[in-house]
Chains A and B, each alone.
Chain A
Amino acid sequence: MMRYRTHLRTGLTAMVITATLVGATACGAGSRTGADDATAVDCDYTAPESETTVNVLAYNSSAIDPFTNTMVKSCTRDEVTLKHDPIDFSGQVTKTTATLAGDSGSYDIIETYGFAVPEIASAGSIVPLDDYVTEYGEKYELDALDEGMRSALSFDGKLYALPMQAQMYVMAYRQDVFDELGLTPPKTFEDMIAAAEAIREQGDIEYPIALPMNATADVSTIYQAAMNSTGTDFLDAGTPQFSSDGSREALEGLRSLLPYMDPQVTTFDQPKVQQQMFNGTAAMSIMFSGRMNDLTLDTNSKLSEEFAFAAPPSLDAEAPYLFSRLSVDGWAIPENTKLDKDMLFQMIASSVGEDASKASVPAAYPAREGIVTEESSKYAVAANETIAATMPAPNDPASAPVTNAIRPVLVQVLTGQTDVEAGMQEMQRLAEETVAAK
């Protein structure tokens, strides 16, 4: 028994050391908030008399952090503390739902995005910002925020979130491979397949195309981008469009790419697609622009110098738009916050100013016009081309629940478990049920 106690003690010591190391590592990984090197800007609000804490909900990413850090650093004063805890995107989505419910919430400023705005705005959970924009537009130069991005964060003619940055699809490809085979960046899915066949024939890369098609999230964005290329969206004035010709073309187009992608592509999120590019196991990929900066860093891959960037292709030569989605991020103020909304607006307005926007480049594509130029990054030209030819993101309160409802069927269609026609009808049925239940 004595010997056993000795073993247990040794084992527990090892356990404690390991747990401490893991804990210390985790703490270090999450502490990205209020970075010392954040940009300092004027944040000129009237401070309340009593001590106040402003809780900020915003997920951590290299594109969002510059804006969050600027706000936390610039607007914190002796009596006013801005508090932002690190969180991932999925956590933000869950916490947004929870904090906006009921008469009081845990957060006073929330980061949100175009896809979510209609649902929470129509529920009256966030406040319209138009009056504040009128009052403070000149002071914070809000006219310089892109009109299209403001529109993406509007609902029913009112602005509900102040845009900070946007992401759109950009194609990254291996310039060396393309040059060697005499290929040019594809303009249509057909071109993409032809390029993939040429690359495969060369023998070095078996699966030349990489798209984020993770079955639990990205796959619906990819499908929506393909539909958008044809000029259709999931919903048209609240009516589901899954049995439309645009839906069929999108599904058939995506399925035509599958033989040139890794067989496990429905488990690939954007980091995994990046990894395929880093490893050299794919020669062309399409992801949101926020992921492109990583490809240009030589610390991530020895191939970083070989990557070039272009606007993504269209579904076919007749398609009116590119295969892309415009996702706009912005700051919103919850209706149920107990703090002065005028003060909160000035905080968010200061964080989307020119200095903060400049600091966010090249990781982000700021909403402030004129910040991203051809010299900003290796993919700036591609991003500018894409944003000009991306279908304007229509807003509908049912978009988010409809997307959740149809996703499992969409995966079955793309993996060949269900045929296109039957899948379209099933998605249409599910979407109609979801819209009716709203």
Chain B
Amino acid sequence: MRRREFAVLIGPSLLVMLGLLVFPLIRTVQWSFQQVSYGSPGVFVGLSNYTQALSDPRFGRAVFFTLLLTGIVTALILLVGYLVAVGVNGLGRLRPYVLGSMLVAYVLPGVVGAVSFSWLFDSNFGGVLNLVIERLTGQEFLWFTDTWPNRVMIIAHTVWHLLPFSVLMILAGLQGVPKELREAATIDGASAWKMHLYVIIPTMRGIVGFVCLITIMDVLRTFDSLIPLSPQADAIGNESIMFYVFDNAFRDGSQRLGLGSAVNVLSIVIILICLFPFIRDLLKEAKAKA
């Protein structure tokens, strides 16, 4: 490929990336050291925004909750996603329809799905699941105002929303496992359990890593679903980092864009730390293939 041809092909993507990724990132880092209001140039305040964020117990609670949510949801997505994918893989002609209907949860706008999901637990709007759980346990749960019941509801919604993607990916991985490998394992007398643990899962390690990567990124960015699912998130310790940023930087005409930017920079660091093992593995795999 000629140099000019290469430049023409890559140019538009490069421009979009510079405009939508690199420039906002540079501006975010710059603002994180400034006090910024709309329409006026920022004033340099050194590390003040970082000090304010790091000394705010509310930010600490938001980080704890976000990491807790990420850990639990990622584990559940991998486990349930694998089991569902194995089940769907065994379906016959029904498979495309099951897959298609599952995708509804994934393509629904986040806040629409979250509102519908919240109604399952809200007795004002029927609250079917709330009713079933109350009948089964004989206990009344305050899903929106008690910390742990609310966390369970948020986790359940996040898993419901993100599960179809992981199922689709793992299903693709399952279908990529060579038949010969399975046959050889069967001849060697491997049980179904051992077949999955020692043959199938190691073969699709790359896909599992990719699912983890995407799920962690998605969950760390949790924001809009909390508006209907946790209306008093801050008061009960179920506020996500992104919700904290919105509340400080924008809500009710607030203009603390410097503080919001500082928290965003800290979030990027947290995300990179969480993703480091997966990015390293993916790079290693790519190098090995090259």
A101→B38 CA distance, assembly (Å) = 5
Given A6-B96, A275-B124; A264-B108 close (CB under 8 Å):
no
* Min CB–CB distance B241 → chain A (angstroms): 17
Given A11-B168, A102-B40; A415-B107 close (CB under 8 Å):
no
- Contacting pair A215 B235 (CB below 8 A): yes
Q: A202 on the interface (CB 8 Å rule)?
A: no
How many pairs, one residue from A and one from B, have CB atoms within 8 Å of each other in the complex? 109
Q: A154 on the interface (CB 8 Å rule)?
A: no
Interface residues of B in 218-269 (CB under 8 A from A): 231-232, 234-235, 250-255
A279→B125 CA distance, assembly (Å) = 9
Which chain B residues lie closer than 8 Å to A216 at the CB level?
231-232, 251
Interface residues of A in 213-266 (CB under 8 A from B): 214-217, 263-264, 266
Contact string against B for A residues 86-103, beta-carbon threshold 8 Å, 1 for contact and 0 otherwise: 000010011011100111
Q: B30 on the interface (CB 8 Å rule)?
A: no
Q: B39 on the interface (CB 8 Å rule)?
A: yes
A1→B171 CA distance, assembly (Å) = 11
Q: A122 on the interface (CB 8 Å rule)?
A: no
Contact string against B for A residues 1-44, beta-carbon threshold 8 Å, 1 for contact and 0 otherwise: 10110111011011100110010001000000000000000000
Given A7-B99, A408-B235; A1-B124 close (CB under 8 Å):
no
Contact string against A for B residues 160-174, beta-carbon threshold 8 Å, 1 for contact and 0 otherwise: 000000001001100
- Contacting pair B39 A411 (CB below 8 A): no
Interface residues of A in 396-435 (CB under 8 A from B): 400, 403-404, 408, 411-412, 415, 417
A272→B95 CA distance, assembly (Å) = 40
Given A215-B231, A266-B235; A94-B99 close (CB under 8 Å):
no
Q: B145 on the interface (CB 8 Å rule)?
A: yes
Most buried by A among B99, B101, B235: B235
Which chain B residues lie closer than 8 Å to A270 at the CB level?
none
Partner of A263, one of B95, B101, B145: B145
* Total interface residues in chain A, CB < 8 Å: 47
Partner of A15, one of B107, B109, B232: B107
Which chain B residues lie closer than 8 Å to A263 at the CB level?
142, 145
Q: B52 on the interface (CB 8 Å rule)?
A: no
A9→B231 CA distance, assembly (Å) = 38
- Contacting pair A267 B144 (CB below 8 A): yes
Residue of A nearest to B247 (CB): A216
Most buried by B among A15, A272, A281: A15
Q: A60 on the interface (CB 8 Å rule)?
A: no
Binding site for B on A (CB under 8 A): 1, 3-4, 6-8, 10-11, 13-15, 18-19, 22, 26, 90, 93-94, 96-98, 101-103, 116, 214-217, 263-264, 266-267, 269, 272, 275-276, 279, 281, 400, 403-404, 408, 411-412, 415, 417
Binding site for A on B (CB under 8 A): 37-40, 95-97, 99-101, 103-104, 106-109, 112, 123-125, 142-145, 168, 171-172, 175-176, 231-232, 234-235, 250-255
| Those 4 A-B pairs whose CB atoms lie nearest each other, nearest first | A102-B39, A101-B39, A14-B100, A101-B38
Instruction: Add 20 more A-B contacts to A11-B168, A94-B250, A215-B232 (CB < 8 A).
Output: A6-B96, A7-B95, A10-B96, A11-B103, A14-B103, A15-B107, A18-B104, A22-B107, A94-B251, A101-B39, A101-B40, A101-B255, A103-B39, A216-B232, A264-B142, A266-B145, A267-B145, A269-B231, A279-B124, A404-B252
A/B interface sample: 22 pairs, CB < 8 A? A3-B175, A4-B171, A7-B99, A7-B171, A10-B99, A10-B100, A11-B96, A11-B99, A18-B108, A22-B107, A101-B39, A101-B255, A116-B253, A215-B234, A216-B251, A266-B235, A281-B123, A400-B253, A403-B252, A404-B251, A408-B234, A417-B235
